[in-house]
């Protein structure tokens, strides 16, 4: 049984627009790497084609498929990669009609029926966690059984679409082997400039899955229970990255790494006792209400150099509407503490939240400046399928279209139509606002000199930062847009 897993070709330009593409992240498709290593453990031969990072055109992918036959091809799909994935399925069935096609990832998980209805060349949708499900699909195909017994799939039966019972999440993440990076072109990946220091490969290590919070804009594909890998297993993966890939920085990925403080402190202790903190420095993401001074101190000691916090808004009313569950005072306090321990901060903000007024958008921008994080990222609000926000707006006129390719949070830089515009605002205004937010945050003397100081040690860093400032300078100062009201 020959198996191929594909990350569809979506270029950095399509994701971030021509001006921002050089700052965009192109990281490993960890879902595919996890599924591949699980299948390898079961004795199957698997290949991964990351058409995105290889910059392949559809013609290239077609040629690749003509050169080799696969019995089953699985494609991963985030919402804005909809057309890119759809085109892959069309090519597969054109080149090799007998190949069984499977699609997984957040978009088909949220909309399994619609995805199968719309993509005629797709045979099976995998919903949720894919390791066990893909293995069972492969096994069932080999033994020619029917699919009705596989949990976590949707498939075609005659003219109907059948949705099977969901699959429960794996309780022990260590049952999934270390992701198959050996099947990926690892030297081609790069995280955003804000996340890495130096241009070297910065692998992502998934330490946990699942999140119990309920932010309205977020799609929790791994459910609400926080499940983490064992500390031993994470240490083993870090050692592998140091020894085999000469990694000197990693991103420890979990929706909220500090949710289980005992686990995080234990992980930091193990990093320190194994002297990994002398060889590798790391970044992570967390929430301000899941952080405290003891943890920050320990993280610093274990070589954490940056934390990304989702702030979302500088307006308490809006934080409450999106069910963020945090208070502005908490944000300010934890930002101060994080800085006290000399950990750099990346802060995420959303613009155009439901009912947000122009005045409130500017309050958010001002709040970002007041917090004075090292980096700030401002994205436009998009109701992704499967989120609470989507269920609220899907039948309202605020949702402008279901053209999934436009479901991208960088509309201001990228252009195109915005799928969601809250009442009283316009597409043009929101697009302009995204650029203004970046401009106002970064174009301040203290930020400029801070970056200059940091980048003096490395010419490539200096070039990257200079190019960032030059990009911001190209924003036209359209009079009206730069006024607050």
Residues that bind ligand B12 (CB under 6 A): 10, 15, 25, 27, 29-31, 34-35, 74-76, 78-81, 102, 104-107, 110, 126, 129-131, 133-134, 206, 218-219, 221-222, 253, 255, 384-385, 408-410
- Beta carbon of residue 211, minimum distance to ligand SF4 (angstroms, whole number): 3
Q: Give the nearer residue to ligand SF4 in terms of CB position, either 212 or 415.
A: 212
Burial class of residue 321, CB neighbours in 10 A (0-12, 13-18, 19+): middle
Q: What, of ligand SF4, ligand B12, none, does residue 315 touch, CB below 5 to 8 Å by kind?
A: none
In whole angstroms, the minimum distance from the beta carbon of 341 to ligand B12 comes to 24
Closer to ligand B12 by Cβ: residue 83 or 248: 83
Cβ proximity to ligand B12: between 296 and 350 the closer is 350
Of 182, 188, 183, 226, the closest CA to residue 207 belongs to 226
- Name the residue nearer to ligand SF4 (CB basis): 206 or 276: 206
Residue 354 near which of ligand B12, ligand SF4, none (CB within 5-8 Å, type-dependent)? none
Task: Name the minimum Å distance from CB 77 to ligand B12.
Answer: 7
CA dihedral 338, 343, 346, 349 (to 10 degrees): 0
Q: Please compute, for residue 205, the number of CA atoms within 13 A of its CA located in the half-sphere on the CB side.
A: 30
CA distances from 103 to 42, 59, 88, 112 (A): 21, 21, 11, 9
**Please, how many CA atoms are within 13 Å of residue 442, restricted to the half-sphere of its CB?**
25
CB 6 within 8 Å of CB 73: yes
Angle CA(333)–CA(335)–CA(339) in degrees, nearest 5? 120
Q: What's the angle, vertex CA 31, arms to CA 122 and CA 48, rounded to 5?
A: 70
310 touches, from ligand SF4, ligand B12, none (C-beta below 5 to 8 Å by class): ligand SF4
Least CB distance to ligand SF4 at residue 255 (A): 3
| Partner in contact with 287, chosen from ligand B12, ligand SF4, none, beta carbon below 5 to 8 Å by kind | ligand SF4
- Minimum CB separation from ligand B12 for residue 269, in Å? 25
**Taking the complex as a whole, how short is the minimal distance between the CB of residue 225 and ligand SF4, in angstroms?**
12
- Residue pair 256/212 in contact (Cβ under 8 Å)? The answer is no
Nearer to ligand SF4, 225 or 467 (CB): 225
In the block, which residue shows the tokens 């004075």?
Answer: 372
Residues contributing to the site for ligand SF4 (CB under 6 A): 211, 213-215, 218, 220, 255-256, 287, 310
Partner from ligand SF4, ligand B12, none binding residue 105, C-beta < 5-8 Å depending on class: ligand B12
Q: Is the CB of 92 or the CB of 173 nearer to ligand SF4?
A: 173
Q: Determine which helix (DSSP H) or strand (DSSP E) holds 49, and give its type and residue range.
A: strand 45-50
Which listed option, ligand B12, ligand SF4, none, makes contact with residue 30 (CB within 5 to 8 Å by class)? ligand B12
Smallest separation, CB 224 to ligand SF4 (Å): 9
Between CA 156 and CA 163, with CA 157 as vertex, the angle to 5 degrees is 60
The DSSP secondary-structure symbol of 384 reads -
Q: Which partner in ligand B12, ligand SF4, none is near 215 (CB below 5 to 8 A by kind)?
A: ligand SF4
User: Which one, 225 or 403, has the nearer CB to ligand SF4?
Assistant: 225
Q: How far is the CB of 197 from ligand B12 (least distance, A)?
A: 17
Q: At what angle do helices 445-455 and 427-442 cross, to 10 degrees?
A: 60
Find the helix packing angle between 427-442 and 459-473, rounded to 10°: 140
Among candidate residues 201, 182, 198, 180, the one with its CA nearest the CA of residue 190? 201
Q: Which helix (H) or strand (E) holds 55?
A: none
Joined together, the tokens standing for residue 122 give 């797709």
CB under 5 to 8 A by kind: which of ligand B12, ligand SF4, none does 256 bind? ligand SF4
What tokens does 350 get? Answer: 């959303």
Instruction: Write down the least CB distance from residue 323 to ligand SF4, Å.
Output: 8
Q: Which residue has the tokens 């995805």?
A: 115
Closest approach of Cβ 470 to ligand SF4, in Å? 32
Contact partner, 213, from ligand B12, ligand SF4, none, Cβ < 5-8 Å per class: ligand SF4
**Is the Cβ of residue 85 or residue 299 nearer to ligand B12 in the bound state?**
85
Which residue lies nearer to ligand B12 by CB, 63 or 175?
175
Residue nearer to ligand B12 on the CB measure, 110 or 393:
110
Q: Which does 183 bind (CB under 5 to 8 A by kind): ligand SF4, ligand B12, none?
A: none
Cβ distance 409 to 419 under 8 Å? Answer: no
389: Cα separation from own chain's centroid: 18
Residue 382 CB, nearest approach to ligand SF4 (Å): 13
- By the 10 Å C-beta count (0-12 exposed, 13-18 middle, 19+ buried), 144 is classed as exposed
Residue (of 409, 352, 349, 353) closest to 373 by Cα position: 349
State which residue, 222 or 413, has the beta carbon closest to ligand SF4: 222
Give the containing element (helix H, strand E) for 155: strand 153-157
Asked whether the beta carbons of 325 and 214 are under 8 A apart, the reply is: yes
Judged by beta carbon, residue 161 or residue 337, the one nearer ligand B12 is: 161
To ligand B12, the closest distance from the beta carbon of 137 in angstroms equals 7
């Amino acid at each position: 049984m020959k198996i191929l897993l594909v990350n569809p070709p979506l270029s950095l330009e399509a994701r971030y627009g021509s001006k921002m593409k050089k700052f965009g992240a192109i990281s490993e498709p960890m879902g595919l790497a996890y599924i591949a290593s699980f299948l390898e453990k079961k004795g199957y031969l698997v290949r991964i084609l990351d058409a995105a990072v290889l910059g392949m055109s559809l013609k290239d992918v077609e040629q690749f498929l003509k050169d080799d036959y696969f019995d089953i091809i699985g494609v991963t799909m985030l919402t804005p990669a909809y057309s890119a994935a759809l085109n892959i399925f069309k090519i597969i069935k054109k080149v090799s009609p007998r190949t069984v096609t499977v699609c997984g990832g957040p978009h088909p998980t949220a909309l399994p029926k619609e995805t199968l209805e719309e993509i005629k060349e797709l045979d099976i949708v995998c919903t949720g966690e894919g390791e066990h499900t893909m293995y069972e699909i492969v096994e069932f195909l080999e033994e020619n059984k029917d699919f009705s017994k596989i949990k976590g799939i949707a498939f075609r039966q005659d003219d109907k679409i059948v949705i099977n019972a969901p699959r429960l999440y794996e309780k022990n993440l260590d049952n999934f082997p270390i992701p198959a990076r050996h099947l990926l072109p690892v030297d081609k990946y790069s995280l955003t400039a804000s996340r890495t220091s130096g241009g070297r490969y910065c692998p992502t290590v998934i330490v946990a899955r699942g999140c119990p919070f309920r932010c309205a804009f977020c799609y929790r594909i791994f459910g609400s229970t926080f499940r983490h890998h064992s500390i031993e297993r994470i240490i083993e993966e870090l050692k592998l990255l140091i020894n085999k890939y000469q990694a000197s920085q990693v991103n420890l990925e979990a929706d909220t790494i500090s949710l289980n403080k005992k686990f995080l402190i234990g992980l930091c202790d193990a990093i320190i006792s194994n002297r990994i903190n002398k060889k590798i420095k790391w970044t992570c993401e967390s929430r301000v209400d899941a952080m405290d001074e003891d943890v920050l101190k320990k993280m610093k000691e274990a070589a954490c150099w940056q934390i990304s916090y989702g702030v979302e808004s500088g307006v308490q009313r809006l934080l409450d509407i999106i069910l963020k569950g945090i208070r502005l005072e908490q944000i300010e306090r934890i930002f101060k503490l994080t800085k006290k321990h000399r950990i750099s901060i990346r802060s995420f903000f959303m613009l155009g939240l439901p009912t947000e007024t122009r005045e409130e958008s500017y309050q958010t921008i001002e709040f970002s400046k007041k917090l004075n994080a090292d980096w700030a990222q401002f994205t436009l609000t998009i109701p992704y399928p499967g989120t609470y926000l989507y269920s609220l707006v899907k039948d309202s006129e605020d949702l402008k279209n279901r053209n999934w390719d436009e479901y991208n949070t960088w509309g201001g830089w990228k252009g195109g139509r915005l799928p969601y515009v809250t009442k009283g605002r316009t597409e043009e205004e929101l697009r302009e606002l995204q650029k203004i937010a970046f401009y106002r945050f970064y174009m301040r003397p203290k930020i400029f000199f801070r970056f200059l100081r940091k980048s003096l040690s490395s010419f490539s860093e200096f070039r990257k930062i200079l190019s960032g400032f030059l990009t911001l300078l190209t924003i036209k100062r359209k009079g009206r847009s730069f006024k607050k009201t």
